[in-house]
Amino acid sequence: MDAKTVGAAIRQELPHLDFVVWDLEPLMPYFHYWRKNMVFIECEKMVASGIAERLAARPDFFKAHFFKGVRKPKRLSTLERPDCDFNVIILARAREKEPELEEKIAELILFSFNGSIPMRLGDVLGAVALCFEGKKASIPKFHKYMTERYLGWFANIVLFKFSKRFKIVGIREPHIERGKRNLEAIKEVDEFE
């Protein structure tokens, strides 16, 4: 199931609704172990539950797991399905256009980092590294979006580790230095007694 199909289903069920729908399709070639697409729907908070209920009632969505929330989507246990072919994440926030690839990456890292989606952070970071290595995404844009989501410190650590492990061109020295300092600070806190 992809964003286009989900968008068409929403238009059929709720033709006058304003929403944005996007998925992981641009990143799927970079995942090693993840084969289930995730579709994100962004809409006004007051219609988020209605979208979930309407889509869940459709036969073509019987193998979907639904998540809903503002910053930290949670699985809707009332719509739990035994077999999951894809995940639908409904974000209760309005957006006017589909996010850029770098913003999708930042969102995916955030949701994986806080445990909102059923995807390990390591799997996400591996795909992101390959995406950067292939020059499919802009590192400055990625860092900007991560900073906007209050995860600039984490982005710096990721970029520092990427600079040591992968052949990624375009990681600026200040990000590498800050990432190294942030990682050292975390290690100090971890060792503190």
The more confident residue out of 188 and 94 is 188
The more confident residue out of 47 and 63 is 47
51's tokens: 């979208």
- Residue 20: per-residue pLDDT: 94
Say what percent of the chain tops pLDDT 70.
Answer: 94
Residue 78 has pLDDT above 60, yes or no: no
- Residue 105: per-residue pLDDT: 92
Q: What is the mean pLDDT of residues 141-165?
A: 89
- Residue 111: per-residue pLDDT: 86
Question: Structure pTM?
Answer: 0.83
Question: Mean pLDDT in the chain?
Answer: 86
Contacts of 75 (CB under 8 A, 6+ apart): 65, 66, 67
- Residue 178: per-residue pLDDT: 92
Digit-coded pLDDT (tens) for 10-57: 999 999 999 999 999 988 888 877 777 889 999 998 888 889 889 988
Specify the 3-state DSSP secondary structure of 30: helix
Residue 115 has pLDDT above 60, yes or no: yes
How many Å apart are CA 6 and CA 91, to the nearest integer? 14
Q: What is the mean pLDDT of residues 99-127?
A: 88
Burial profile 150-178: b = 16 or more Cβ within 10 angstroms, e = fewer: ebbbbbbbbbbbbbeeeebeebeeebbeb
| Domain residue extents for the chain | 1-98, 101-193
Q: Tell me which of 10-19, 105-114, 178-187 is least confident.
A: 105-114
Residue 77 has pLDDT above 80, yes or no: no
- Residue 116: per-residue pLDDT: 82
